[in-house]
Amino acid sequence: MDRIPLVHASLGEKELAAVAEVFSSGWPAGQGPQGKALEAQLVERYGVGDAVSLSNCGAALHLAMLALGVEPGDEVIVADYTFPAPAHAVRYVDAVPVFADVRADTGTVDPQAVESLIGPRTVGIIAVDTVGLPADYAELNAIADRHGLFVVEDAACSVGATYQGRQAGTLAPVACLSFHGRKGASSGEGGALLSADPVIGQDARLRSSFGIGSIFDQSQVVGLPIPEFTDIGYNYKMSDIAAAILRVQMGRIDELLVRRSAIAAQYGELLADEDLLTVPHVPEDRTHAWQSYMVTLDPRVDRAGLAAALRAQDIGCGHGTWATHVQPVYQSKRKCPVSADLFARNLAIPMHAELTEAQVERVVSVLRTELRTHARSR
């Protein structure tokens, strides 16, 4: 029987043709014509002051901390239930991540938890659009305004989602995107920083290239320009190969999201009456990008046994995402019980635009059977 993978990138002939054009151009490296065109495309799509194409979303988060002036010893409140990249970015600048618990129904950061953690050393908030669902930005931005804090939107998973009619990626003054292989728009790896303030974008762009300007731009100048290194920077550039792929993918976001949404709706319908799990909840004021489809298992279900049974039948699955505060690298004394509970009970099942209706039906059929096999009696 055919294997049904957990994730699959929707890359095809148009993307291959775009890569071929880069090969012909002679400039596959970063900050070339494709990267500049992608940045212009992002600015137009999101209506932001600047967009910087980068090697990944983790790089964008790091550059955001630097551009926003986070200093050693500062505290940044971070959503706990997520891939740990936001907390890592805070640590990169020797600041302190303070973990905020999440809503039980959405897995997004709880604004009340955020406000309760604000102290004299707090300088900002990193909210996360959990596996594609935007957080509560009306409340979060209001809290930030009251306390003079910045807000960064970690929109790694939410390209194509909306909140109160606005696109994910525009819900805070600074946003960070991911174009990893499982995202709604993908180049395998890649990211971007979006900023309402062009000054932040300029800062991030300079730091992303070792602290000097575009080598491609300088190669177009007659003579021998010798760039000067004005600050410590990093090699966070996106290659023109990846940028060319993304220029195609950005034009396909709506098409791919329609398919992901249809798959999510099919899962929701087929699993609505299953008492051993809960399907994702999407509040009425937002839409989901469906980077992942996570169900929350009843406490009676042996998740490890269930996952092993699914994989034995060639159905991909995963634990979902992380409760960052319990990771050994952080050893946090602060507890986030909702996040820890979701970390223990969530299960990601196959979600990508290439899934067929028949494959979804098979996933659900096997899942239902194995749920009962791996559920303890009360």
Segment 127-138 shows an average pLDDT of 98
% helix / strand / coil in the chain, to the nearest 5?
40, 20, 40
Contact 131, 107 (CB under 8 A): yes
Contact 194, 184 (CB under 8 A): no
b/e per residue 257-280 (b: at least 16 CB within 10 A): beebbebbebbeebbeeeebbbbb
Domain with CATH 3.90.1150.10 in the chain: 254-373
Cα–Cα distance between 104 and 41 in angstroms, integer? 36
Cα–Cα distance between 102 and 281 in angstroms, integer? 14
- Per-residue pLDDT, 7: 95
Pairing of strands 191-195, 174-178: antiparallel
Structure tokens at 333: 């004394």
Count CB neighbours of 284 within 10 A. Answer: 5
Across the chain, mean pLDDT equals 95
pLDDT in tens, 227-247: 888 889 999 999 999 999 999
Cα–Cα distance between 158 and 182 in angstroms, integer? 11
Assign domain 254-373 to its CATH superfamily: Aspartate Aminotransferase, domain 1 (3.90.1150.10)
Domain with CATH 3.40.640.10 in the chain: 13-250
Instruction: For CA atoms 31, 61, 83, 281, give the dihedral sign.
Output: negative
Segment 183-199 shows an average pLDDT of 95
Pick from 301, 339, 303: nearest CA to 321: 339
- Per-residue pLDDT, 199: 97
Count CB neighbours of 198 within 10 A. Answer: 12
* Secondary-structure class of domain 13-250 per CATH: alpha beta
pLDDT in tens, 297-332: 999 999 999 999 999 999 999 999 999 999 999 988
Contact 168, 155 (CB under 8 A): yes
Residue 378, pLDDT above cutoff 70: no
- Per-residue pLDDT, 31: 82
- Per-residue pLDDT, 1: 60
